[in-house]
Structure 1
Amino acid sequence: MFGFTRKKKDASLIGLMAPVKGKLLPLKDVPDLAFSDGSMGGGGAILPSEGLVTAPCPGTVAHVMEKSKHALLLEHEAGFQILIHVGIETVSLKGEGFFPRVAAGDKVKTGQPLLEFDLETIVRAGLSPVTPIIIPGGQDRVESVEFNGDSAFRKKEPFIRVLLKNG
């Protein structure tokens, strides 16, 4: 139940679980124009209530920001990428308060810990802890991305749905 794949006529629908506990937000509510205007891609965001990021799906860690440790890129086993970016302008912390639990090349399962972070360090620095989860634009396989974080959301449901083109 931790993510799903459903075939449509000429596409596959894949669900991604929320990788952080907290309040779900549409991208338009992210306090950074690079995310909120959708230019980086589609997805959603979370205002975290705790400092743990888990894998939203099975896949492979494609990249962990080496010095700042505030973001990572996963590749879903279906061949598309997911960016998890903890906080806004948190690159300025230069890794302080961030503790990666995986490295590039690691295979992960849904729910596996990826990154721990100190929420208090982010807030104390005057930064927003809002965490965008983005399906970066320009991926040929991605047909569309849908945020599923409205008031009807249930914890066992995916909070982002990705429609992939077959082929």
Structure 2
Amino acid sequence: MGLFDKIKSKFVSDDGTFTPPEASFATRPDTVYAPVSGVLIPLEEVNDEIISAGLIGNGYGILPTGNGVLYSPVNGRIGATTVTNHSIGIATHEGIEVLIHIGIGTVNMKGKGFKRLVEANDEVHAGQPIMLFDVDAIKLAGHDEVIACVISNPDAFAKIRHVGASGTLIGDRPLVKIGDPLLVAKK
């Protein structure tokens, strides 16, 4: 068995099901971390009137790079899932409500290209894989693949600081990796 086979066997079960590895990073209870690696964009530039107006919350858009695994950006409890698996909500024990919406118009895909790894009321920890998504399927369906990661209850906090930054830029935009701090909520 070669090195590639040894690595692959760690993440693929005997029935051929892919199990993504967990991400490990230090966390703080007042911080929301990047659920995917990608290029950060301001919500105002997301090509959706509801998201860009901040009606679903305060946060960032992320153009994903990488393997199509969405990781929990916080420690908390899964609060809301959708039948189409294109969005998911997580509530922290500190009262931060995080909503992650994968793609624009992806509700019309009726779940094709998405696989949820958790259920409503499951306890999750930051870095735990919670959803699989197929970027190519999203693009082939004619949808924008941007992922919105927002605090959906911003009025519960005195201030939400946008701290997503990186020394690496792509087209004048920061490149973030899974586990990089994005938002800090202060009471």
Question: Is the structural similarity TM-score above 0.5?
Answer: yes
- Match 1:3 to one of 27, 46, 51: 27
Helix, strand or coil for the counterpart of 1:4?
Answer: coil
Q: What is the TM-score of this pair, normalised by structure 1?
A: 0.84
Residue 41 (1) aligns with residue 57 (2): yes
Q: Using the alignment, how far apart are the partners of 1:96 and 1:16 within structure 2? A: 28
Assess if the C-alpha contact under 8 Å between 2:96 and 2:185 holds in 1. Answer: no
Helix, strand or coil for the counterpart of 2:145?
Answer: coil
Report the alpha carbon displacement of residue 162 of structure 1 after superposing the two structures with TM.
1.3
Residue 159 (1) aligns with residue 177 (2): no
Report the alpha carbon displacement of residue 151 of structure 1 after superposing the two structures with TM.
4.4
Q: Using the alignment, how far apart are the partners of 1:132 and 1:101 within structure 2? A: 19
Partner of 1:89: 105
Partner of 2:5: none
Aligned-residue RMSD, C-alpha: 1.8
Any gaps of 5 or more consecutive residues in structure 2? 1-24, 168-173
1:22 aligned partner, one-letter code:
G
Helix, strand or coil for the counterpart of 2:181?
Answer: coil
Report the alpha carbon displacement of residue 26 of structure 1 after superposing the two structures with TM.
1.4
Report the alpha carbon displacement of residue 142 of structure 1 after superposing the two structures with TM.
2.1
Q: How many residues align?
A: 154
Partner of 1:121: 137
Partner of 1:20: 36
Partner of 2:69: 52
- Match 1:102 to one of 118, 122, 127: 118
Report the alpha carbon displacement of residue 134 of structure 1 after superposing the two structures with TM.
1.3
Deviation string 1:122-165 (CA, Å, 9 cap, x unpaired) is 000110000001111465x32222222244567564111112x2
Q: What is the TM-score of this pair, normalised by structure 2?
A: 0.76
Any gaps of 5 or more consecutive residues in structure 1? 6-13
Assess if the C-alpha contact under 8 Å between 1:44 and 1:134 holds in 2. Answer: yes
Identity percentage over the alignment?
33
Q: Which has the higher helix share?
A: 2
Q: Using the alignment, how far apart are the partners of 2:104 and 2:26 within structure 1? A: 27
Assess if the C-alpha contact under 8 Å between 1:39 and 1:137 holds in 2. Answer: no
2:55 aligned partner, one-letter code:
S
Partner of 1:8: none
